[in-house]
Structure 1
Amino acid sequence: MSTYFQYDKCSTSTFLEQLELHQEVIPLLVDACSSHPSLLESKKRKSKYFVQCSFNSLGKVLLLLKTNKIKDMNDDGCDILQRAWEEVQCFNFNLEWLKPSVDSALEMKHHVKKFRKTTSNMKKECLADGRSAQLKPWLAKRIWLSK
């Protein structure tokens, strides 16, 4: 009996269900594997445990990208995504198709920091000059909310 987990060209969803993956990632993985068959092909002749870990790891990245809006990424979200991305790369998937989405989400961390710094500086400037009443209402609201 082989110790390798063979992908025998059964349906993608059947194959992934055999792996005992987290249920919330299976639909995401089915979509990804349907669009990128190399994900399945790259795991031929690997142990069931290795394949299971690799697809759970990929599913985690896909789930993070799906459930977290890029514009809402905070430091914690970026750190979790960064660790998950580094982890999934250890499994040698060809993820060039996913890299732009991950990079975009991780870049938001820098944009958020820059926005917070800018609004903080604007708030200090306006308070020092006594110009807070001159700010447009929407800008004033944004500055005070970023506090």
Structure 2
Amino acid sequence: MQDDVTTRNRPAPVRPLAASTPTLLRTALGASLRRRRDEQGLRIVDVAERANLSVAYVSEVERGRKEPSSEVVSAMCDALGAPLAEVLREVVDALEREAARARLAELRDQARRDGRAPLRVLDLTARDEARADVRGDALPRVRSHTRFSGLALAA
């Protein structure tokens, strides 16, 4: 048995993630709750006290490590002064946008394999802001039949 420093400190081999590994619900929910807490300038301790939860548990929920019950989610939303329906809507929107982005990436890759013109994913929600910064219509033509949740493929 070889027991030297190089053997013990060797990093474990890294396995590549699947190309379409979806975000878990608990991860999206935790990110939404953390963003709201940060926007309000609150500490984890503040939310934990208001929600009558442990600091460690609130931290794990925010990092997407724990799958919170509906009662916990409701308590955290109350502690943040955020309507539960609004938080859940935000989470659903984030998950839908991610699914749309993955689908558009699939379509773009398919177009490349078929030898069609190069395509890129365009975020249509930012289109008006970009247009305000640029004179004329400098944005690419959008193929309307490939729109998904505010995203589109552009030539």
**What's the TM-score, normalizing by structure 1?**
0.35
- Greater share of helix residues, 1 or 2? 1
**What's the TM-score, normalizing by structure 2?**
0.33
